[in-house]
Amino acid sequence: MNFTFKSLLYIILFKLTFINTTLLFAQEAIPLYKGPIPNSIPSLDEETSEINKDSVLIIHKVSRPTLSIYLPPKEKCTGAAVIICPGGGYWVLAAGHEGAHVAKRFNEMGIAAFVLKYRIPDEKTMINTSIGPLQDAQRALQVVRENASAWGIDKNRIGILGFSAGGHLASTAGTHFQKAYIHNPKKTNLRPDFMVLVYPVTTFTHNGLQISSNEKLLGKNASPQLIREFSNDLQVTAKTPPTFLVHAKDDDVKVENSLVFAEALKRNNVPVELYLYEKGGHGYGMYNKASHVLWMDLVEKWLKKMHFIN
């Protein structure tokens, strides 16, 4: 075995181990729906996973959504919970550094975490691509609330966090909760109690990477009415949950996404906190290498200030 081949073999083994360790970190991963998946078209399961050149776990072509459960030790449990929506432009899911790793940090705070592997909008697998991810977010909130006592959770302290396009999904859940896009026979509350939005897409009215998110979710020929409906800064009301936002000023997903959403919250007297990095770009997960500030530490302080945790 020459050095080059041996090195390549080690890299392959490392990547396989990394994927397995990341996926096995959850105590349990459950199908999001017990029966048929709503708004779906019968199709083959073409989901695949990979570690990309930046050592990021990426999941492609999700059509069977799941919820991965990460519960803190009982002695640390605060009763709060958060549903995590990884980013990926509605094209893929960055399920490691924007999913499992974040769940572990929340567990350290005593917060139960649930990583949502939501469906990727695709006309081959979905009747209406614009509502598919929202259905999955609402279903995740429904599942966590209806099983709150079994998981040691206070059903009135369940939030949602999203990165990038996952931030769009999280903010959609926080602004479109008055209409149930899923079967909800128990009339379960589908409103998140708080939101954390990290370099999010919140609006489709500013240029940037969100244009591809817009087209992937709504289609290339979306009507102005549909674009407005899913520009979530325009859907904020006094009932929108308290929100913590994080963004870098040099992000390709323009910082205006967070600025306009924060302003909309303020106009409606909704508690909001916004942290802006001077630099950092996009997609850094929990650790912005351009700054010593850890935004997750700021989130923990904010959750304490808002009395979601002690």
Instruction: Identify the H or E element spanning 310.
Output: none
Q: DSSP label at 92?
A: E
pLDDT band at 26 (very low <50, low <70, confident <90, very high): confident
Nearest of 128, 116, 122 to residue 162 by alpha carbon: 116
- Per DSSP, the three-state class of 308 is coil
Q: What is the pLDDT of residues 247-267, one digit of tens each?
A: 999 999 999 999 999 999 999
- Is the pLDDT assigned to residue 22 strictly greater than 70? no
Residue 25 burial by CB count (10 A; 0-12/13-18/19+): exposed, middle or buried? middle
Q: What is the DSSP string of 196-263?
A: EEES----SSS-STHHHHHHHHH-TT--HHHHHHT-GGGG--TTSPPEEEEEETT-SS-THHHHHHHH
% of the chain residues with pLDDT over 90: 84
- Cβ proximity of 141 and 150 under 8 Å: no
Domain boundaries, the chain: 3-305
The rounded distance, in Å, linking the Cα atoms of 242 and 159 is: 10
% of the chain residues with pLDDT over 70: 90
Residue 169 amino acid letter:
L
Q: How far is CA 92 from the centre of its chain?
A: 12
Q: What is the pLDDT of residues 100-146, one digit of tens each?
A: 999 999 999 999 999 999 999 999 999 999 999 999 999 999 999 99
Position with higher pLDDT, 55 vs 203: 203
- Is the pLDDT assigned to residue 21 strictly greater than 70? no
Q: DSSP label at 100?
A: I
Report how far apart the first and last C-alpha atoms of the chain are (Å, whole number).
Answer: 57
Is the domain 3-305 a CATH 3.40.50.1820 member?
Answer: yes
The rounded distance, in Å, linking the Cα atoms of 64 and 67 is: 10
* pLDDT number for residue 1: 43
Give the pLDDT mean for 271-299: 98
Instruction: Identify the H or E element spanning 94.
Output: strand 92-94
- Is the pLDDT assigned to residue 18 strictly greater than 70? no
The rounded distance, in Å, linking the Cα atoms of 162 and 197 is: 5
CA 301, 240, 113, 12 torsion: positive or negative?
Answer: negative
* pLDDT number for residue 307: 98
Beta bridge partners of 245: 197, 274
